[in-house]
Structure 1
Amino acid sequence: MSLELEIPFETEEGYQYLVSFREFPINQLNYGIPLVDVSITLMSSAPEINSLKTLNNFIKIVLLYLEQNNVIIYYYCDTAPIKIRTTRTKKYTNQEYRFYLFLMMFNKQKSDDFYLQDIIINDTINGNHYTSLISKTINAEKVQKIKVEIEKYNK
């Protein structure tokens, strides 16, 4: 069974996205469980702001994929420009903002069935890298092993 999947998604505001799941090549990584990259790509003009309903739908798509597949999902937040309220007291980079927003939305689901491990790779030259590993709770130990491997890139 292929783990590759593309799900088109349109928001109530009419913005079109493509949620893609792609398996990392087996010969490069072997953790005893497939590692799958998820990306959320805007296919239409840039939105002013996504609603909480839209963000919740993204989380639901990811969790449904996890319910149907025993994998670990790798989610890397991109650096594309976004609008962040200028009245925010704490200033975030675009990637950092997406990272914390994703964590907040995931944790809001309050599910004991899924496990999320956030990872920050410090990079003083290019800026920090923000990623998350998500899987079923039964895979928490494997998630931790992958986290240790990724954190070797901390500078």
Structure 2
Amino acid sequence: MATGTRLTHLDDTGAANMVDVSEKAVTARTATAVGSVLMKPETLEMILSGNAKKGDVIATARIAGIMAAKRTHELIPLCHPLALSKVSVDIVADESLPGLRVTAMAKLSGQTGVEMEALTAASVACLTIYDMAKAVDRGMVLSGIKVLEKSGGQSGSWTAPDNT
């Protein structure tokens, strides 16, 4: 099946099925996804100063993102369980938002891509930030969750057009 020609998770009758990757070559595959949590400046300051009631927001969100990537197949129907070799979640403050920017990377040597794992890591890290700070800022907005780039596999490398 050529990527972009038809939906890979639908068979000829339109029924949803897990894609058979058994004949695909094992290649090194990496994907990077991003997301942001926009918040009040005072919420960002509270998080950065370590004064959140629930604890270290950034460290907790990083761990939550890593754990989520490892469980993507349990959360997203038809995703393959993957033996990830690396997951990283980086969270940095951006006072121009104001808020926190999350970058998640997933990597493996395998027969299927890791875009969903990277997206899940970024999404859950953002959700965790919201959860830990919602008591002081219920108006936070999760924004811009997307794949920035992927490499490996039959389709090769891809980078988002604006890559931001």
Query: Rg: which structure is higher?
Result: 2
Name the structure, 1 or 2, with higher relative contact order (CA <8 Å, separation 6+).
2
User: So what's the TM-score if we normalise by structure 1?
Assistant: 0.37
